[in-house]
A and B are shown apart, each in its own frame.
Chain A
């Protein structure tokens, strides 16, 4: 395994990764030589864009007027009083245009694509939220758009598939492997390597080869910057804990990263425990996997003893992924963040609970974070506070929830 002799401390050194995309022993660029040139070009273009005040102003303008930012920090009064503990605040990413945090990153990368002169956009999607966000920005910028989606996920997320098509995207079913998100990512990467001259690949999470993890993180950091400022304004101080669900981990890193040097703020990422960690049917690589190399980076993976990637399970398609962003691996190993797992049943209960108590139907992904808050908040004092990332809304999940309850819509 690659080693870094000087062990940096993410609490005091938020400038990770290094120039080759390593977060301690994680991250990097594990791709075939064919992709090294295109990744270097992307890295150059991305770095240049950071120096371009027009680019940054346009990104911020789109976040304000197209996405509808800032998203509110909402005090969940009835949920807080039900749990008899810490005060609970929801960062309302579900109120963004297209209904989830994914659009923040999709806009950033689409602007970068335009800057690089690429007219064709491709993306992978699991639950369909990143696919919808990408199809949306492609329509907005007048670009051709192809979305790769596992054939099984297409079955589970029919409304999002139709949404992408309405937005003018072509949705390509991926029949290989486990027919889910990881296979869609393989297929999108293959498309990219073959069509790199005119094509920009918008990865939806903080995984993939460098510079994707750092680039996606930085586009998503708007969540944490806003939440930090809103906490100071509304609570009068920083929250005591941040809670977010983790599949690949983009909504979590977007919330966590701006708080890294606020060492008093605890950070808890919630993985999908599926049927339970002990059953093996889950998607919790940080809790129950081990480090390895997949999709261009080193991180924790769900794998067998022979290094083959194993099937994952979660009620939430957006968390159904065998890997996790390398920065999360680094934050866990260094102790700065903690990662727990929540089972399908607990997530489902939290889904119903928030719907009834607050009038907000949360995404099943975000419901994992809410389920953990049910355990955490009662152990805290009433003068303490928790910010939960409500990363998406649950309209897309009503079919899954109805099926699970034996209801025919």
Chain B
């Protein structure tokens, strides 16, 4: 099935629901645990899975996700391994969109065309290359598009109108609004500012708007859900994974209850 992302947002919007996007670094601490985490997230109410491709130098991420990357690489995770994980998940779930999130260099090392071909065959739906602004994305964007993959782009509090227009021209799936000036998981967002920026973006952007970087609790997720089309949670989940290293069963329980609390918060915010 193609265009899972578009289908997902259309279905949610029809029911006035905000999408819950949950992030996990592939291979932290092993592929097997990550697959179980993905299952747990979906069961507890996640709509979209963002799967992190570990990189040795994750410059846009905070310490929490950097440590997750280090654990994953230590455990032997590779880009091939990430794609194998996607394929495994797809054997049992054909609906939930998967976004691969990572950095340029591992994709370039594999080759854009080969990566796009394999990622599409494995069942991925979108790719967010953190360090690829539109200016540097021509070649990779062509390859992704040719294989039916949506390239997801970031917009930020510092993006000018001209930049947002430029991003609109190439973005597919949804756009990811970086709600804080900073790296992942370090600062709390200012939800009032977020909602006023989102109103501005709506005038320019035909795509759904997801909000991430700095949403740590069901309360702030609920506030963002009033204006955003999707709420993206990463570091807060990785902290749970980190806290329960070596005890996978209690980790899955903790993830399930956190994701469920987010789901409930989003649904209540929209119902109010």
Q: Which residues of A contact B (CB under 8 A)?
A: 1-3, 20, 28-34, 36-38, 176-177, 182-183, 186, 189-190, 193-197, 292-296, 301, 303, 305-310
Contact = CB atoms under 8 A, between A and B. Distances in A.
Contacts of A38: 158
Contact of B109 (A37, A176, A195, A306): A306
Interface stretch (B12-20, B52-60, B258-266): B52-60
A36 B163 contact: yes
Contact of A20 (B67, B135, B182, B183): B135
B104 A293 contact: yes
Contacts of A303: 105, 109
Interface residues of B, number: 48
B8 interface: no
Contacts of A2: 136, 138-139
A-B interface, 3 closest residue pairs, ranked by CB to CB distance from nearest: A307-B109, A37-B158, A194-B182
Contact of B106 (A177, A196, A296, A308): A308
A190 B163 contact: no
A186 to B, nearest CB: 5
Contacts of A296: 59, 131
From A2, A296, A305, A306, residue with most partner B Cβ within 10 Å:
A306
Given A38-B158, A177-B57, A186-B57, A307 B107 contact: yes
Contacts of B153: 33
B221 interface: no
B163 A30 contact: no
Contact of B59 (A20, A186, A194, A308): A186
B63 interface: yes
Contacts of B66: 176-177
A308 B73 contact: yes
A233 to B, nearest CB: 44
Nearest to A304: B109
Contacts of A177: 56-57, 66, 70
B21 interface: no
B215 to A, nearest CB: 16
A37 B164 CA distance: 11
14 contacts: A31-B133, A33-B167, A34-B157, A37-B160, A176-B70, A186-B57, A190-B59, A193-B181, A193-B182, A193-B183, A194-B181, A194-B186, A305-B109, A307-B55
Given A33-B178, A306-B80, A309-B57, 19 more contacts: A32-B154, A33-B156, A34-B60, A34-B157, A37-B163, A177-B66, A182-B57, A186-B57, A186-B58, A190-B183, A292-B104, A292-B108, A292-B109, A294-B105, A307-B106, A307-B110, A308-B105, A308-B106, A309-B56
A163 B42 CA distance: 54
Nearest to A310: B56
Contact of A176 (B63, B136, B163): B63
Contacts of B67: 176
B154 A293 contact: no
B133 A196 contact: no
Given A293-B105, A293-B131, A28 B57 contact: no
A91 B254 CA distance: 63
Contact of A306 (B70, B78, B178, B182): B78
A217 to B, nearest CB: 21
Contacts of B108: 1, 292-293, 307
B139 A1 contact: yes
Contacts of A31: 59-60, 131, 133
Contacts of B138: 2
Interface string B131-158: 1110110110000000000000111111
Interface string B174-189: 0000101111001100
A294 to B, nearest CB: 6
A306 B103 CA distance: 12
Contacts of B60: 31-32, 34, 190, 193
A296 B187 CA distance: 23
B135 A29 contact: yes
Contacts of A176: 63, 66-67, 70
A307 B79 contact: yes
Nearest to B175: A33
A38 B108 CA distance: 26
B190 to A, nearest CB: 14
Interface in B112-144: 130-133, 135-136, 138-139
B62 interface: yes
Nearest to A32: B60
A20 B105 CA distance: 20
Contacts of B163: 33, 36-37
B102 to A, nearest CB: 10
B57 A294 contact: yes
Contact of B158 (A36, A190, A301, A305): A36
A6 B155 CA distance: 32
